Structure 1
Amino acid sequence: MTAPLIEFDTARLRLRQWRESDCTPFAAMAADPQVMEFLLPLPTRADSDASVERARALIAKNGWGFWAVEHKATGEFIGFTGLNVPLATLPFSPCVEIGWRLARHAWGQGFATEAARGALQVGFERLGFDEIVAFTAVGNLRSAAVMERVGMHEDVVGAFDHPLVPEGHPLRRHRLYRLDRAAWAAARGASE
């Protein structure tokens, strides 16, 4: 049985189910060494297409997941943002994570923060999650800054070695961020 499909808009973005036309720009983004600087590995086109299909299938099954992000003014695919249950068993599993990846030309415009805030709202208000986590390689300061801008707090005690990154690799050590529904609601109420 499939859940009702969730898609939503923010001020400038549409978070939606993936389309076939997203595969080529996603593959280009996934082949960009700057975009993939803190991720492993640089995928082949077949790997990239398989990632899109997995994201599409999970959204079709659950109603939510890593949504394709479209710039509303131009209709352009600029990346993905969304919620996911990690495949790997992590020290804080089970959990729901928030994640994003945007094309380099979309950086520095607040899109990641805007999309992440929308995904958090869906996660807490529509899906009723008690907590959403985020994690990234220690050196990924851009993603950590987005996590902080959306109200997440670093769990210093929760830093961990990601089990899918090879031992000895410089990206193995990860920072963990958390946000619970009560803190999200309190921060939202204070900003309104």
Structure 2
Amino acid sequence: MTEIRTPRLLLRRWHDDDLVPMAEINADPEVMRWIDDGAVLDLEATAEAIERWEEEWDEEGFGLFAVELLASGELIGLTGLSVPEFLPEVLPAVEISWRLGRSYWGQGYASEAAHATLEFALQDRGLDRVIAISRPADDASENVLRKLGMTQERETEDPRHGFTLTVHAIDLTEFEA
């Protein structure tokens, strides 16, 4: 089983008891504001998403980790790697992303988890490049991207929803693990 420990977090594969806390995170409109079309996800949609994330682990050898606080064992969200199939123009590519419950924002957890994910991409999976896709007004994500050393590569349009997306990238041979 793939697990990564950081000073405060455990990044791990998904457990059955993660469904309800992840569904609560996905049901928060403020959390989902910058994700996909901004729609919240209910329990059933969250269960389907977790199933897809686990399938990607099996198919690609990477995926989205559940993020747990080491101190309490509490699920606080997700981070990890995926193939951004919704945006064919960037393929082949691997995308880093994260999503945390609102009560965990502003404490450095997203940066800590994302940094560990980039180390995993480089050292464990041998990837030489990772992208991130954000929306221009998502200042919190932009801040994490800067901390990771990712640079803006271009702007494009989301083919599903028509809004502007910013594609960031990092050459992992230059990443400071």
TM-score range, shorter chain: over 0.9
Aligned residue runs from structure 1 range 126-165, under 5 A: 126-155=124-153, 158-165=154-161
How much has 1:176 moved relative to structure 2? 1.2
State the TM-score, normalizing by the size of structure 2: 0.93
SS in 2 for 1:159: strand
1:26 aligns with 2:22: yes
Distance in 1 (alpha carbons) for counterparts of 2:107 and 2:6:
14
Aligned to 1:15: 11
Please report the RMSD computed on the Cα atoms of aligned residues, expressed in angstroms. Answer: 1.3
State the TM-score, normalizing by the size of structure 1: 0.86
Q: In 2 relative to 1, CA 6–62 (structure 1 residues): closer, same or farther, beyond 3 Å?
A: farther
Residue of structure 2 aligned with 1:82, choices 80, 83, 95: 80
Q: Tell me if structure 2 keeps the 8 A contact 1:113–1:149.
A: yes
Q: Tell me if structure 2 keeps the 8 A contact 1:6–1:64.
A: no
**Aligned residue identity for 1:136:** S
Distance in 1 (alpha carbons) for counterparts of 2:60 and 2:13:
12
User: How many residues were matched structurally?
Assistant: 175
Unaligned residue ranges in structure 2 (runs of 5+) = none
SS in 1 for 2:116: helix
1:117 aligns with 2:115: yes
Distance in 2 (alpha carbons) for counterparts of 1:117 and 1:74:
21
SS in 1 for 2:174: helix
Q: Tell me if structure 1 keeps the 8 A contact 2:85–2:91.
A: no
Q: Tell me if structure 2 keeps the 8 A contact 1:138–1:174.
A: yes
Distance in 2 (alpha carbons) for counterparts of 1:30 and 1:164:
20
Identity %: 33
Q: In 2 relative to 1, CA 147–140 (structure 1 residues): closer, same or farther, beyond 3 Å?
A: same
Unaligned residue ranges in structure 1 (runs of 5+) = none
Distance in 2 (alpha carbons) for counterparts of 1:121 and 1:36:
26
Distance in 2 (alpha carbons) for counterparts of 1:11 and 1:44:
32
